[in-house]
Amino acid sequence: MPEKTAEKHVTDKAPAPGAVAEAGPAPAKARSLWSDAWHDLRRNPMFLVSSALIALLLVMTFAPGLFTSASPRDADLAEHYLQPPNWGHFFAPDWLGYDGQGRSIYARIVYGARASILVGVGVTVLVTILGTFIGMIAGYFGGWIDSLLSRLTDVFFGIPFLLGALVVLTTFENRTVWVVILALAFLGWTQIARVARGAVITVKQADYVVAAKALGASTGRILMKHILPNALAPIIVVATIALGGYIAAEATLSFLGVGLAEPAVSWGLDVSTGREQLRNAPFTLIIPSVMVSITVLSFLMFGDAVRNALDPKLR
């Protein structure tokens, strides 16, 4: 009788055939660094605000006609010379007033975004590609290759960025957007090269890289398939933060008269011409300066948010 009672007690507690699958929760899907970063970013107010501002600037860059029908080069000295802003006429040509040549400041703000954004994005893309390539080669192969490329990086790193760009640009008579991009990219790749080298040195010691070498994978495949994807996070962080600095550098060079030149439309050029009317019409200087500050701040906020999301120590 005791044996039957114990057997009956065990039988009563045994789960039904389909109950095991329903009782436990389904295994969670593995989350990568990028999915964790996106999970944090979309809940970060700083990222959302900066992304909205950057999206507005991009639309302004590629579709300025959506914001104004006025031309940034139309000048009427007789009627619009230093006409003050008419704050009640939103998005009208006279909304932000007219400059010393009778041109609409609002139209020039809209069309000037193209030069600043193109220079910032163009320089960032070039320095990321060049710096990542040099850093990967130096970090992966080591030895005399690393020593040679590291000393080359140190030489370029020792050149003051703005001063070097100023010297390079003075050798060109026709300073277009692409000339400014190449001049800034020629001197701006050193920081990303150092970051990429350090990231590659860390990643190449991982077990999956050692296993790929043991299986006979080619150097190109190891670099592109195994090392680069896992070393990309710090490179992206540095690139996004530096983008705002390149926009500020273009405005500074244009302000000094060695960046973009007329008939180009640039916020830096407008700041340069606005300083001549600082006492009579300070809005001609303040408005383009504020646009440069907002743009640079937007990219810096975006870069900080991305850094916080991709760095496990900060999350």
- Does 275 have pLDDT greater than 60? yes
Q: How far apart are CA 122 and CA 1, in angstroms?
A: 87
**In 215-315, which residue ranges form alpha helices assigned H by DSSP?**
219-221, 228-256, 267-274, 283-310
User: What residue numbers bound the domain in which 80 lies?
Assistant: 44-310
- Residue 11 covered by a domain: no
Q: What is the pLDDT of residue 19?
A: 44
Largest CA distance in the chain: 116
- Residue 306 covered by a domain: yes
Q: What is the pLDDT of residue 10?
A: 43
- Residue 180 covered by a domain: yes
pTM for the predicted model, two decimal places: 0.82
Of 230, 176, 180, nearest to 202 (Cα)?
A: 230
- Does 147 have pLDDT greater than 90? yes
CATH code of the domain containing 139: 1.10.3720.10
User: What's the domain count of the chain?
Assistant: 1
- Does 243 have pLDDT greater than 80? yes
- Residue 239 covered by a domain: yes
- Residue 106 covered by a domain: yes
Weakest-pLDDT range from 31-45, 104-118, 143-157, 260-274:
31-45
For residue 136, what pLDDT band results from cuts at 50, 70 and 90? Answer: very high
Q: How far apart are CA 44 and CA 88, in angstroms?
A: 34
Q: What is the pLDDT of residue 255?
A: 87
- Does 176 have pLDDT greater than 70? yes
- Residue 227 covered by a domain: yes
- Residue 4 covered by a domain: no
- Does 73 have pLDDT greater than 50? yes
Q: How far is CA 302 from CA 199, 254, 299, 306, in A?
A: 22, 25, 5, 6
Q: What is the pLDDT of residue 78?
A: 80
Looking up tokens 């006492």 gives 279
